[in-house]
Amino acid sequence: MSLMAEAPLHRRIYAALEGRILSGELRPGDRLPSEHELCADYACARMTANRALSELAGRGLVVRRRRAGTFVAAPRAQSAVLAIPDLEAEVKARGQAYGYRLLSRQVRPPMAGDAAEQALADGGQLLALDCLHSADGRPLAHERRRIALAAAPAAEAADFASMAPGGWLLRSQPWSGAEHRITAIEADAALADHLGIARGAACLAVERRTWRTDEAGRETGVTHVWQVFPGAAYDLVARFTPGRAEGRHG
Q: Which residues bind a second copy (CB under 8 A)?
A: 1, 19, 21-24, 47, 58, 60, 75-86, 170-171, 173-186, 200-205, 212-216, 229, 231, 234-242, 244-247, 249-250
Q: Is 18 in the site for DNA (CB under 7 A)?
A: no
Angle between helices 46-58 and 9-22 (to 10 degrees): 40
What single letter denotes the amino acid at residue 212? R
Q: Which CB, 45 or 236, lies closer to DNA?
A: 45
Q: For the CB of residue 160, give the shortest distance to a second copy in the complex, in Å.
A: 18
Q: Contact 155/165 with Cβ under 8 angstroms?
A: yes
* 36 makes contact with DNA (CB under 7 A): yes
Q: How far is CA 234 from CA 20, 135, 249, in A?
A: 38, 11, 19
Contacts of 94 (CB under 8 A, 6+ apart): 135
For residues 97 and 238, which CB has a smaller minimum distance to a second copy in the complex? 238
Region binding DNA by CB under 7 A among candidate stretches 53-61, 81-89, 165-173, 181-189? 53-61
Question: What are the angstrom distances between the C-alpha of 214 and each of 2, 65, 76, 125?
Answer: 48, 33, 34, 20
57 binds DNA, rule: CB under 7 A: yes
Neighbours of 143 (CB within 10 A): 22
Distances in whole angstroms, Cα of residue 206 to Cα of each of 78, 153, 235? 20, 25, 11
Element (H, E) at 89: helix 87-93
Smallest distance, a second copy to C-beta of residue 175, A:
6
Instruction: Give whichever of 32 and 126 is closer to DNA, judged by the CB atom.
Output: 32
Indicate the SS3 state at residue 222. strand
- φ and ψ at 21, to 5 degrees? -80, -50
To DNA, the closest distance from the beta carbon of 221 in angstroms equals 32
Q: Which SS3 state, helix, strand or coil, does residue 53 take? A: helix
- Is 83 a binding residue for DNA by CB under 7 A? The answer is no
Taking the least distance from each CB to a second copy, the nearer of 110 and 230 is: 230
For residues 53 and 131, which CB has a smaller minimum distance to DNA in the complex?
A: 53
Closest to a second copy by CB, 108 vs 193, is 193
Q: Which residues bind DNA (CB under 7 A)?
A: 8-11, 32, 34-36, 43-48, 50-51, 53-54, 57, 64-70
